Amino acid sequence: MDYVISMFVDRPYVVSLVITFLIVAAAERGWLRMFLWLIVGTFIGWLSEFTSTRTGFPFAWYEYYPASFPNELWIAGIPLFASLSFAALSYFGHSAVYTLMSPLHKGPNGIERTENMQLLLSLKVALWAALLTTWTDFVVDPVAHLGEYWFLGKIYFWITTSAAWHFDIPLWNYFGWLLTIFTIVYANQRIDGFLIRRGYPHRSAFRLPHLPLWSIGYFIGNYLFILAVNIYLYYNPAVPPEKQIGLVLANTAVFVAAFILFTVLCIRYKLKSSASHTS
């Protein structure tokens, strides 16, 4: 129980991420699939981090600072909150890509998505979900690595030295994200297909307005939060010049603007196209 309390107190951003995932996944896919995604995603995320901290694959070689997690639950040297994050982020990536690839229309619950199980379980959705979530990491990791200068804290350090770097993050790390997120999504797609064949169709646990937009909304909210932190760091005199915080801010602004512009234009086009077909 103390571990749970500590996570709520020390890692509220992870708790909010996981709770949002539980709500959105249950509303979109039902309790069973939400629970399975949580278990599978957490395990694969943990396994990737476990092997990385011992072999350098797939994220490159790094270690956590144990002193930063004095009261939190660790599993074989990996803090639980890190593994939970992979389950949530991979789901949001899968859901957002599925929405952006699907026809959208206005219905009784606001903006709705035309469901297509073949598309939902397709390889291209898994690949694009991995790319979209890794796109997010290009924004998050350079700022998270400066956690000692904001409330995140100094939570890990890189051991890898022979690699190309992106604001103190080895580029190999992003390959690890692509592989890990793809594996989580693909595994859950196969489980989903098995359940459908066994007579367990998707059943929403409850309704949410504008349901297809919730995962996209999470990404935008997360991007804006990281942008706000980045601006704070830019004006924080404690951040040393060698951290290149101005360039980090430019990196954040470019990736955030590109994502928001693309998703807004894509959704507007799909809604306009749907309205023209029904008129």
Neighbours of 172 (CB within 10 A): 19
What is d(CA 115, CA 165) in angstroms, rounded to the nearest whole number?
41
What pLDDT score does 6 carry? 58
What pLDDT score does 27 carry? 96
What is d(CA 32, CA 200) in angstroms, rounded to the nearest whole number?
10
Quote the tokens at residue 119.
């598309």
CB-neighbour burial class of residue 208 (10 A; exposed 0-12, middle 13-18, buried 19+): middle
The CA-based angle 140-89-262, given to 5 degrees, is 70
What pLDDT score does 71 carry? 76
Among residues 172, 113, 180, 167, which one has the least CA distance to residue 141? 167
Cis peptide before 58 (omega within 30 of 0): yes
For the chain, how big is the Rg over CA atoms in Å?
19
Question: Are 61 and 52 contacting, i.e. CB atoms less than 8 angstroms apart?
Answer: yes
SS3 17: helix
- Which stretches in the chain have pLDDT values below 50? none
What is d(CA 233, CA 225) in angstroms, rounded to the nearest whole number?
12
Question: Are 59 and 177 contacting, i.e. CB atoms less than 8 angstroms apart?
Answer: yes
Question: Are 85 and 19 contacting, i.e. CB atoms less than 8 angstroms apart?
Answer: no
Which residue range forms the structural domain that includes residue 155?
2-278
What pLDDT score does 271 carry? 84
What pLDDT score does 222 carry? 94
Which amino acid is it at 249? L
Looking at the structure of the chain, the number of domains it has is: 1
Question: Are 83 and 180 contacting, i.e. CB atoms less than 8 angstroms apart?
Answer: no
Listed in sequence order, the DSSP H helices in 102-171 are 117-120, 123-144
Q: Which residue has the tokens 């979209």?
A: 132
What is d(CA 212, CA 181) in angstroms, rounded to the nearest whole number?
20
Name the region of 122 (left: φ>0; alpha: ψ -120 to 50; beta: rest).
beta
What is d(CA 191, CA 40) in angstroms, rounded to the nearest whole number?
10
What pLDDT score does 8 carry? 54
What is d(CA 76, CA 168) in angstroms, rounded to the nearest whole number?
26
- Which residues make beta-bridge pairs with 79? 74
